[in-house]
């Protein structure tokens, strides 16, 4: 085996060095080089010389170092061996080379004589250099550094002179076809040189102090080369594996030797600096990694993105973003409302509003009741009714009602702020301009989703790109024909009509169900079964689940691009959900009215009850303690706020349950059935009829958005909602991640969804607005219950602000506030605000337009340039022809008149002048 031989030769080298037979060593070394690639030679020889030089100097001087060199060499051999293996794996033609080795060896023998000469020269030179160095040391001039450099450059040039020659000759001699590409040979030479220099410098680690300046210089040069390589590696046309290999090797090399470089005294400092720099860089990189690791679920999302494309990932990113927002909302409500009340407020059982009434006490701890958020759950910090209207609680004098109100307002305000800010940021990212004008260019260059890392998805994507190309070509042809447009239009109108019918039907159904449930509620729910009690929720979730499917089926009529189809689908589901939600709210408003009527009756009864209490038991004449009635026995109002909160919580819970159950049945069970029944079924379940489900981006996004809307709506009356939502989002993150990876298949038409993010945001904003509307309406227009909640006893909920202003702030502040809140001031301020918004909007519009114009200008300029170039080329060609004709004429006309000559000469010059830019532009033209 050639490799064994190689090792043997190298081990011989070390022995030879010990014996001091430099010439033989060189011969062997040449042989070694011959074994390896052609391109390695130059570098390798330089390295060999380096070694020789050092051995010439060092090896003779120190006998004690022989051992180390031997060891080092052996180590180097091993490394070399490995490298060699890799190189062999990389280049297949290596084997052939090895076979050719014998010839090469013969040649090498011929060359070895030349080499010997070279070495003699070399030795002379080194001696000279040594002398010079000694002189330098003696003089100890300040020009030390400069001299060193000079020496080094001398050495370099000389070396190059002496070993370039034989190399060239050898190449000539060989006359073999270059089988490997340049880059390959180059890289291999590098790896080879790397191993060589490494083997050398393995020894050198101990001998570093005795490095000659040239060597240092060379080392530095090599390090610089490596650095350069690392920087430019990305642009090289090599396969990835090779790039990685080279990168790793180069980095190792640089890391190893960079520290060893430096000049004179500053070497240590330099090494230290380099080391610190490296440490710092590494730390920074690690820190970046750490930061990425700190982003919750980042890796999960990336994995999903690689399997399912960015549209599915965008849902999960949205989910994460939502989680963040809910975290803040939860922090606000939990930290400023629930915890203070639980810690500092009056304990459970101290007030009627804080105790379970006597009638409910028996079943208050039943699971069914708690699951329905009745019983003890209803009379706890989770709901509005539990809070007391005491102005300040605890030793902190915490203003509970104020805090409650401000948190309610603050959560909504914060949500607005965040949504709008995100929208604005996203709007910046999407540049203006129409993307439809260069359809095929866009498709060619931008349709690949680079985040895909899964072969199946990649196949799908590939197929979808191909089909989309076909479709676009067909579309392009059809758009020229322009005859089928009416059919498409008709189908689209029809689809929208069907969808509208569907929406109206579902709206009516919900309305019907809600009316019925009110009837049930009036007659008492106890008389009805589970189906009747849960009818509204059931119908709402069923419609919410199946109507989108119907829309999806209908939307196939329209034949839109999937991205546009997704937006339509989103819009439709949005309308459906909105209709459902608003029907629900209207029903809730009715319920509130009912409760308030009930409250009036209770109020009247209350006075009678109190009168009875006092009349019946307490003698009029006594001054004894007033009667204490257990709070559970006190009659109380229905507390519509708690009822609203409860409804929302129930809705959220049932919604969550529906989502999870759908996930488990529709996705997981189906996947299991398809997977395991496929082996014993008469048709292909995986490819054919049930198949695996696809991830429904639009439905999930909308579910999330509407869920959030319900949170915003209900959070004022049930402070526990953000906490519940947080829990839900957390669970659904894990559950859905798992479900997607485990039982969904990538969409058949994978498409990029980067543009739809702002669409989601816009919908979220709309929902936010629509969900704050009813909340604000109830806060502003309906008086709070008289015996429950933090605002009981007040006429309106926002009176708490006025109260605070009056009692907690100095008098002048109240005055200032009253002045400021004077309509005469507020209206102009609002006007100013509107004007400012208008101004900003119009300026942004102008900027956009200017941007567009600039873009257009650039385009036209580009086209003009193209035309110009074409024209110039044509002209040049014409003139060339003319000139040729002229030349022929000229030659024919027997060196005619001098005037003609004079005119022709400049014309040729002109031709050159014209041709020059054209030729210069030629590659440009090719590009365009």
Partner 1 sequence: MVSPAIALALLPLLLTLIIRYRYFFVLLYRAVLIRWVRDCLTGLSREERAYQYILTHATPGDSQSILDTFDQWCSKVEFISNIGPKKGKILDRLLLEHCPITVLELGTHCGYSTVRIARSLPIGARIYSVEMDERNAGVAEKVIRLAGFDEDMVELIVRPSDEVIPRLREDFGVEHLDFVFMDHWKRCYLPDLQLLEGSGLLGEGSIILADNVIFPGAPNFLRHARRSGLYEVRVHRATLEYIRGIRDGMAELTFLGIK
**Footprint of partner 1 (CB under 8 A):** 502, 506, 509, 512-513, 516, 529, 531-532, 535, 538-539, 542-543, 545-547, 549-550, 552-554, 678-679, 682-689
Nearest-approach distance from CB 506 to partner 1, in angstroms? 8
Nearest-approach distance from CB 710 to partner 1, in angstroms? 20
Nearest-approach distance from CB 707 to partner 1, in angstroms? 20
Q: How far is CA 265 from the centre of its chain?
A: 48
Q: What is the 3-state secondary structure (H, E, C) of 183-235?
A: HHHHHHHHHHHHHHHHHHHHHHHHHHHHCCHHHHHHHHHHHHHHHHHHHHHHH
Distance between CA atoms of 488 and 732, rounded to whole angstroms? 39
Nearest-approach distance from CB 387 to partner 1, in angstroms? 37
Residue 547 or 701 with smaller CB distance to partner 1? 547
Distance between CA atoms of 135 and 156, rounded to whole angstroms? 20
Go through 203-235 and write b for each residue having 16 or more CB atoms within 10 A of its CB, e for each that does not. bbeebbeebbbbbbbbbbebbebbeebeeebee
Nearest-approach distance from CB 550 to partner 1, in angstroms? 4
Residue 689 or 839 with smaller CB distance to partner 1? 689
CB atoms within 10 A of CB 596: 15
Q: How far is CA 357 from the centre of its chain?
A: 53
Nearest-approach distance from CB 514 to partner 1, in angstroms? 10
Distance between CA atoms of 666 and 209, rounded to whole angstroms? 73
Beta strands 744-745; 693-694: pairing state:
parallel
Q: Looking at 430-556, list the stretches that DSSP marks H as alpha helix, in order from N- to C-terminal side.
A: 439-446, 455-481, 485-523, 530-533, 535-555
CA neighbours within 13 Å on the CB side: how many for 926? 5
User: Helix, strand or coil for residue 1?
Assistant: coil
Residue 70 or 535 with smaller CB distance to partner 1? 535
Nearest-approach distance from CB 654 to partner 1, in angstroms? 14
Residue 114 or 533 with smaller CB distance to partner 1? 533
- Residue 366: both structure tokens together: 């039943």
* 51: nearest Cα among 195, 162, 197: 197
Residue 552 or 879 with smaller CB distance to partner 1? 552
* 701: nearest Cα among 585, 804, 570: 570
Nearest-approach distance from CB 753 to partner 1, in angstroms? 24
- Exposure of 140 by Cβ count < 10 A (0-12 exposed, 13-18 middle, 19+ buried)? exposed
User: Helix, strand or coil for residue 517?
Assistant: helix
Nearest-approach distance from CB 683 to partner 1, in angstroms? 4
Residue 329 or 578 with smaller CB distance to partner 1? 578
Residue 301 or 547 with smaller CB distance to partner 1? 547
Whether the CB-CB separation of 292 and 298 falls below 8 Å is answered with yes
Point out which residues pair with 694 in neighbouring strands: 745
Nearest-approach distance from CB 478 to partner 1, in angstroms? 19
Whether the CB-CB separation of 388 and 401 falls below 8 Å is answered with no
Q: What is the crossing angle of helices 670-677 and 721-743, to 10°?
A: 10
Nearest-approach distance from CB 582 to partner 1, in angstroms? 18
Residue 119 or 539 with smaller CB distance to partner 1? 539
Residue 547 or 914 with smaller CB distance to partner 1? 547
Go through 531-554 and write b for each residue having 16 or more CB atoms within 10 A of its CB, e for each that does not. eebebbbbbbbebbbebbebbbeb
Nearest-approach distance from CB 513 to partner 1, in angstroms? 5
Nearest-approach distance from CB 787 to partner 1, in angstroms? 36
Residue 542 or 919 with smaller CB distance to partner 1? 542
Nearest-approach distance from CB 678 to partner 1, in angstroms? 6
User: Helix, strand or coil for residue 198?
Assistant: helix
CA neighbours within 13 Å on the CB side: how many for 385? 27
- Residue 666: both structure tokens together: 């529709």
Q: What is the crossing angle of helices 640-662 and 562-617, to 10°?
A: 140
Residue 318 or 551 with smaller CB distance to partner 1? 551
Residue 363 or 688 with smaller CB distance to partner 1? 688
Residue corresponding to tokens 């049945």:
665
Residue 35 or 541 with smaller CB distance to partner 1? 541
Whether the CB-CB separation of 599 and 640 falls below 8 Å is answered with yes
Q: What is the crossing angle of helices 562-617 and 697-714, to 10°?
A: 30
Nearest-approach distance from CB 658 to partner 1, in angstroms? 12
Q: Tell me the longest C-alpha to C-alpha distance in the chain.
A: 152
End-to-end CA distance of the chain: give it in Å, rounded. Answer: 54
Nearest-approach distance from CB 463 to partner 1, in angstroms? 9
Residue 347 or 524 with smaller CB distance to partner 1? 524
Cα angle 207, 212, 218 (rounded to 5 degrees) comes to: 100
Residue 615 or 679 with smaller CB distance to partner 1? 679
Nearest-approach distance from CB 549 to partner 1, in angstroms? 4
Distance between CA atoms of 311 and 302, rounded to whole angstroms? 12
Q: What is the 3-state secondary structure (H, E, C) of 80-107?
A: HHHHHHHHHHHCCCHHHHHHHHHHHHHH
Go through 717-755 and write b for each residue having 16 or more CB atoms within 10 A of its CB, e for each that does not. bbbbbbbbbbebbeebbebbbebbeebbbbbebbbbbee
Distance between CA atoms of 438 and 839, rounded to whole angstroms? 34
Residue 580 or 707 with smaller CB distance to partner 1? 580
Residue 179 or 534 with smaller CB distance to partner 1? 534
Nearest-approach distance from CB 656 to partner 1, in angstroms? 19
Residue 164 or 459 with smaller CB distance to partner 1? 459
């Amino acid at each position: 085996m050639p490799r064994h031989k190689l090792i043997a030769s190298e081990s011989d080298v070390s022995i030879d060095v010990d014996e001091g037979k430099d010439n033989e060593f060189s011969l062997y070394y040449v042989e070694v080089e011959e074994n390896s690639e052609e391109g390695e030679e130059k570098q390798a020889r330089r390295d060999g010389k380096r070694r020789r030089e050092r051995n010439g100097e060092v090896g003779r001087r120190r006998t004690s170092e022989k051992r180390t060199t031997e060891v080092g060499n052996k180590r180097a051999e091993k490394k070399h061996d490995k490298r060699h293996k890799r190189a062999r794996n990389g280049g297949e033609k290596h084997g052939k080379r090895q076979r050719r080795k014998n010839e090469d060896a013969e040649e090498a023998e011929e060359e070895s004589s030349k080499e010997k000469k070279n070495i003699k020269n070399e030795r002379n030179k080194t001696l000279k250099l040594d002398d010079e160095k000694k002189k330098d040391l003696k003089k100890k001039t300040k020009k030390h550094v400069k001299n060193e450099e000079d020496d080094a450059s001398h050495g370099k040039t000389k070396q190059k002179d002496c070993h370039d020659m034989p190399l060239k000759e050898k190449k000539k001699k060989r006359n073999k076809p270059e089988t490997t590409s340049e880059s390959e040979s180059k890289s291999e030479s590098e790896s080879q040189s790397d191993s060589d220099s490494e083997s050398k410098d393995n020894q050198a680690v101990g001998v570093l102090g005795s490095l000659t300046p040239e060597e240092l210089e060379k080392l530095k040069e090599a390090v610089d080369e490596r650095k350069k390589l690392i920087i430019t590696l990305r642009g090289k046309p090599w396969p990835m594996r090779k790039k990685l290999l080279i990168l790793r090797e180069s980095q190792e090399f640089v890391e190893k030797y960079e520290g060893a470089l430096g000049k004179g005294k500053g070497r240590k400092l330099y090494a230290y600096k380099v080391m610190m720099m490296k440490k710092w860089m590494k730390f920074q990189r690690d820190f970046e990694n750490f930061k990425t690791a700190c982003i919750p679920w980042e890796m999960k999302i990336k994995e999903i993105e690689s399997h399912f494309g960015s549209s599915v990932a965008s849902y999960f990113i949205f989910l994460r973003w939502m989680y963040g927002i809910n975290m803040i909302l939860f922090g606000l409500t939990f930290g400023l409302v629930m915890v203070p009340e639980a810690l500092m407020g009056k304990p459970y059982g101290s007030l009627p509003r804080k105790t379970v009434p006597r009638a409910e006490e028996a079943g208050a701890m039943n699971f069914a009741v708690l699951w329905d958020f009745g019983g003890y759950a209803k009379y706890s910090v989770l709901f509005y009714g539990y809070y007391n209207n005491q102005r300040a609680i605890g030793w902190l004098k915490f203003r509970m009602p104020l805090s409650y109100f401000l948190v309610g307002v603050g959560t909504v305000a914060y949500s607005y702020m965040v949504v709008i800010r995100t929208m604005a940021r996203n709007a910046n990212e999407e540049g203006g301009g129409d993307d439809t004008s260069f359809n095929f260019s866009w498709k060619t260059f931008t349709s690949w989703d680079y985040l895909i890392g899964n072969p199946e998805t990649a196949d799908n994507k590939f197929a979808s790109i191909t089909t989309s190309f076909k479709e676009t070509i067909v579309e392009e042809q059809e758009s020229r024909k322009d005859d089928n447009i009416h059919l498409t239009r008709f189908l689209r109108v029809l689809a929208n009509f069907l969808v509208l019918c569907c929406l109206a039907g579902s709206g009516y159904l919900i309305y019907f169900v809600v009316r019925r449930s009110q009837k049930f509620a009036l007659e008492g729910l106890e008389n009805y079964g589970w189906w009747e009690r849960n009818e509204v929720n059931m119908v709402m979730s069923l419609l919410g689940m199946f109507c989108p499917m119907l829309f999806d089926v209908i939307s196939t009529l329209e034949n839109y691009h999937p991205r546009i189809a997704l937006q339509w689908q989103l819009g439709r589901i949005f309308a459906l959900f909105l209709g459902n939600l608003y029907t629900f709210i209207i029903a809730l408003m009715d319920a509130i009215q009912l409760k308030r009527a009930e409250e009036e009756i209770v109020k009247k009864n209350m006075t009678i009850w109190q009168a009875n209490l006092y009349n019946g038991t307490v003698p009029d004449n006594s001054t004894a303690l007033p009667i204490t009635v257990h709070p559970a026995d006190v009659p109380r109002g229905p507390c519509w706020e708690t009822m609203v909160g409860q409804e929302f919580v129930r809705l959220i819970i049932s919604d969550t349950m529906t989502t999870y159950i759908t996930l488990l049945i529709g996705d997981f069970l189906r996947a299991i059935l398809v997977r395991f029944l496929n082996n014993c079924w008469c048709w292909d379940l995986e490819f054919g009829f049930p198949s695996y489900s696809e991830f429904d981006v639009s439905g999930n996004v909308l579910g999330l958005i509407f869920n959030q809307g319900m949170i915003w709506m209900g959070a004022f009356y049930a402070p526990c909602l953000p906490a519940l939502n947080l829990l839900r989002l957390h669970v659904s993150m894990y559950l859905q991640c798992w479900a997607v990876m485990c039982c969904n298949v990538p969409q058949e038409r994978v498409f990029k969804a980067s543009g739809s993010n702002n669409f989601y945001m816009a919908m979220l904003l709309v929902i936010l607005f629509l969900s704050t509307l009813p909340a604000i309406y109830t806060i502003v227009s309906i008086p709070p219950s008289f015996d429950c909640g933090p605002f009981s006893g007040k006429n309106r909920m926002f009176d708490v602000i006025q109260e605070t202003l009056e009692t907690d702030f100095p008098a002048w502040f109240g005055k200032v506030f009253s002045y400021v809140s004077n309509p005469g001031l507020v209206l102009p301020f609002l006007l100013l605000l509107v004007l400012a918004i208008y101004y900003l909007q119009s300026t942004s519009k102008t900027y956009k337009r200017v941007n567009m114009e600039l873009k257009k200008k650039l385009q036209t300029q580009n086209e003009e340039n193209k035309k110009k170039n074409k024209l110039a080329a044509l002209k040049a060609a014409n003139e060339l022809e003319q000139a040729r004709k002229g030349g022929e004429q000229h030659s024919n006309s027997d060196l005619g008149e001098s005037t003609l000559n004079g005119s022709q000469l400049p014309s040729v010059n002109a031709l050159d002048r014209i041709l020059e830019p054209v030729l210069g532009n030629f590659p440009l033209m090719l590009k365009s």
